[in-house]
Structure 1
Amino acid sequence: MSEVHEGLEVVAFEDPTRLRMWLEEAGAAHPGVWVRLQRATSSRRSVTFRDLLVEGIAFGWSESTRHAYDAQSYLQRFSPRRVRGTASERNRRIAAELEEAGRMTDAGRAALGPSAGSR
């Protein structure tokens, strides 16, 4: 059985490719998860907060609350974006980079609104 924190499954990804594969399967109907991220001082591999941010924008997911976990890691809540069209300048810039690289999805575009990929 998987670990659960505050009603959501705790997951971990060693690299951004595995995170992206998981997001392709999870879709926008998923309730969300807590992603275990390793601290910079940890010797264990994991995606970074930046990886979570970028892939989340690509798929219309959002990172929010952070909780302490242990000395080596923390938990970051990660779920489908619920409010449409609320894109900060940073998120719009990342979305434009994802568009240029061909990595932005329809779900990501819909979540960030019509100006998501424009600079």
Structure 2
Amino acid sequence: MTSSESPRSASVHAATGKFDYPIFHAETRSQWRTWLACNHDSVRGVWLCSWRAERPRCPYPEAVEEAICFGWIDSTVTVLDDERGLQLFTPRRTKSAWTRLNRRRASDMENEGLMTDAGRRAIAAAKSTGWWTIADQVEDLREPPELAAALDRDPTARAHWDGFPPSARKLMLWWIVSAARDATRAGRIEQVVTEAHEGRRARR
């Protein structure tokens, strides 16, 4: 599919199992921004298709910057064929964490005059709910006080927890801090500590 073709369904392709989203092939940043400007508020997601090597493409960092401008976020990466890769972009959900990098990108886009009202609404929603900075403690490997206290009461669990790789601890920390209710959060902390006592990582 060339960049001049309109987005189409890819349900006939079996490569990912998620081809109920349309595919759009952009070879430049401006093509991607134009698509977002026309479609960001009317579709539930899109596979951004790019050449995998040695041909014009919208670089990943630029694709993410444009998505942020319209209140969208990137997620799954997969392959369409030997020459083309796919990156899934969707509108941000209300409970969607912002990394420091993406907050910096948002600031840059605002300063460069590229941010849209849709992007600003997504940012305002994240700030009002706490999801604007919720990922910071995970990125910094800061334990919530309730988790730290529970681990400290169980030296075996604490020793195992401290021995888990940072990547594993981040996954479990995110599982805890992203809980919507206090009861859910407490239950997840209990499960993490119980599993850590046995030397196991709690499965999300």
TM interval, shorter chain, is 0.7 to 0.9
The runs of 4+ residues in structure 1 deviating greater than 4 Å are none
Shift of 1:112: 2.6
Q: TM-score, normalised by structure 2?
A: 0.51
Which residue in the other structure is 1:7 paired with? 20
- What do you get for the CA RMSD once the two structures are aligned? 2.1
CA offset digits 1:21-57 (Å, max 9, x no partner):
1111113231111111222xx2321212112111011
Counterpart in the other structure of 2:78: 67
Structure 2 residue corresponding to 1:20, chosen from 14, 33, 38: 33
**Between Structure 1 and Structure 2, whose CA radius of gyration is higher?**
2
Instruction: Tell me the CA shift for residue 93 of structure 1.
Output: 0.5
Task: State, as a whole percentage, how many aligned pairs show the same letter.
Answer: 32
**Structure 1 CA distance for aligned equivalents of residues 103 and 96 of structure 2:** 10
Between Structure 1 and Structure 2, the one with more helix by share is: 2
Any unmatched runs of 5+ in structure 2?
A: 1-6, 12-18, 133-204
- Ranked by relative contact order (alpha carbons within 8 Å, sequence separation 6 or more), the top structure is 1
3-state SS in 1 of match to 2:102: helix
Which runs of 5 or more structure 1 residues have no equivalent in the other structure?
none
Residue 11 of structure 1 aligns to a residue in which SS? strand
Aligned ranges for residues 1-119 of structure 1 at < 5 Å? Answer: 2-5=8-11, 6-39=19-52, 42-84=53-95, 86-113=97-124, 114=127
State the 1:2 CA deviation.
Answer: 2.6
